[in-house]
Structure formats: C-alpha cells, structure tokens
Amino acid sequence: MGRLRWGFKTAPQHTTYEAMLAVWQEGDRTNAFEHAWLFDHFAPIQGDRDGPCFEGWTLLAALAAQTSRLRLGLMVAGNTYRHPAVHAHMAATVDVIANGRLDFGVGAGWNEYEHESMGIPLYPPGERIRRLGEACEITKRLWTQHLTDFDGRYYQLKGARCEPKPVQQPYPPIVIGGSGEQLTLRVAAQYADIWNFTNADVETFQHKVRVLHEHCAAIDRDPAEIELSVQVRVNYDDIGAAAAALAPLVAAGATHLILMLTYPYPDGIIARLADEVVAKVG
C-alpha cells in the first residue's frame, strides 16, 4: 500500500467565502492534510437550488493566493462548461498563482439543469466522454508545446498558445473523475495521474479498479502510475464514521483520501479530523 495522502473538500454551495477561507487556511497550517478541493457547479447540487454557489475556478484562484502549502484543485471541472483550450489556460494561470500546487481535475460533465438553464449543450454520454479524451490531449499539448495544432473530431486548434506554462513540469497532475467502464475508465487509463471514485461501496470500488487496470493493460501502461482517490462525507455528529468508511477503501488500495465538509463548518474541524480520522486510519 502506498502512503496515504489526506485532503478535504469544501463544496462551494450554501456557504460563504469567509468560512471556506478560514477552513483552507487552517488546513494549510495542518501538516496532516496535503490537498484541498472545491467542486465545479453553477447552482447547488444538494439542498435548495436557490442558495449561493460560487464559481469554482475564480474561487480556487483566490484560495491559491491565500495558501502556501496545500495542493488544490476542482473535484472535478466539467469539460462541457469551457472550451478545453480556454480551460487549459485557466488552469495554467492558477498553477502559477499557486506556485506549482494545482491538481487538474476534469470530468465529462453531467448536470442536466446547469446545461439546460444556461444553454450549454449536454451531449450524449458517449460523445461527452470522447470529448473529454480530446480535451485531455489538447491540455497536455498546450502545456508542453509552444504552438499547438489539433484536428480532432470535436475540437480544432491552429497555432494555439498557452503562456505562461504551468509551473509544474511537464504539467500538473491530471485528475479524472467518473467510473463508466467502457469509455471513462479508458480515458482515465490513458491520461489520469489520479482517478477519483465517489461511491463509498468497497466492492464497487474494487470492481472499477479491476476495469481500470484492464484498460491500462490494453495500452501497456503501468496501473501503479495512477493513484486511486475516494471521497467520503463527514458527519460532524459522528466523525468516526468517516474513518470507518475509509478503512476498507484504503485496504482495497485507495491512497488519495478526501473528507467532504458541509457548511456550517465547526470551529477547529481540521484539527478534529486530523485527530479523529487521519490518525486512526493511518
């Protein structure tokens, strides 16, 4: 088993900027945690849809500027929301602001309300995932080449630039979320440095990992190059339940562990999680 790397997530819905900033700065001071996350939505996906929901990339840039140690990212950005060349430039800028601390989380996109309400096309699932694959290729090229040409099925670039490049070389780690077996896990096998799984069921996790490894074998990639990431929601009335939920996932190979926090955040919650979850799971 690899070394466990702990993180937390403050979904930017039904909360305030000041409250999230306080949690992130506490996390930045707490060595037990290595990474922190937001999500990428334009309206709350839990609770009242009319509540506040901050835009992910602009908020991430602000938090990057006010932290110094934590790795950070969106878990995960929707590829359909932005052209991948624009998305790559946004991410590179945040990596510069963070002095090389960005993990680039991306997925195919799924939220029907957001797409319909804003007039953004929500393509059929297969097309969304094929678009994600092209987007990952475009992103890597823009981050590593002076000029990028790309003539894909869905995206075309001609002499495209992305300057400045990310601080991290050759590029920030790519985090892919999603568990569709035929297409999504194939894209993850090809491009992901970290693959994120959102279901806490360990048997499903083990099955998806086997499928991911099969896709890796098909392209002759070492599956050990892909870190396995999971998310577990924290119940403030029973914090130990998060440790209990994570233990079998860790035994099954998960090493990138994210504790999901909801507002209002209890005072000192990061220190409590370090003592009551991180220390217990290891």
Torsion of CA 72, 75, 79, 82, to 10 degrees: -50
pLDDT at 187: 98
Longest CA–CA span in the chain (Å) reads 55
Q: What is the mean pLDDT of residues 123-152?
A: 98
Per-residue pLDDT tens digits for 38-78:
999 999 999 999 999 999 999 999 999 999 999 999 999 99
Residue 185 has pLDDT above 90, yes or no: yes
Q: How many other C-beta atoms can be found within 10 angstroms of the C-beta atom of residue 224? A: 9
pTM strictly above 0.95: yes
pLDDT at 1: 64
Q: How many other C-beta atoms can be found within 10 angstroms of the C-beta atom of residue 162? A: 24
Phi-psi region of 159 (alpha: psi -120 to 50; beta: other; left: phi over 0): left
Q: What percent of the chain has pLDDT over 90?
A: 98
The two tokens of residue 256 are 């990138």
Q: How many other C-beta atoms can be found within 10 angstroms of the C-beta atom of residue 177? A: 25
Q: What is the mean pLDDT of residues 116-145?
A: 98
* Per-residue three-class SS string for 7-43: EEEECCECCCHHHHHHHHHHHHCCCCCCEEEECCCCC
Q: Is 87 exposed, middle or buried (0-12, 13-18, 19+ CB in 10 A)?
A: buried
Backbone angles phi and psi of 267, in degrees to 5 = -55, 135
Q: Residue 199 and residue 178: Cα distance in Å, rounded?
A: 10
Predicted confidence band at 199 (pLDDT cuts at 50, 70, 90)?
Answer: confident
Whose tokens are 């190059």? That residue is 225
Per-residue pLDDT tens digits for 202-248:
999 999 999 999 999 999 999 999 999 999 999 999 999 999 999 99
Predicted confidence band at 200 (pLDDT cuts at 50, 70, 90)?
Answer: confident
Q: What is the mean pLDDT of residues 154-182?
A: 97
Predicted confidence band at 18 (pLDDT cuts at 50, 70, 90)?
Answer: very high
Write b or e for each residue in 182-192: b if 16 or more Cβ atoms lie within 10 A of its Cβ, otherwise e. ebbbbbbbbbb
- For strands 174-177 and 104-107, give the pairing: parallel
Whose tokens are 């939920």? That residue is 245
Do the Cβ atoms of 6 and 259 come closer than 8 Å?
yes
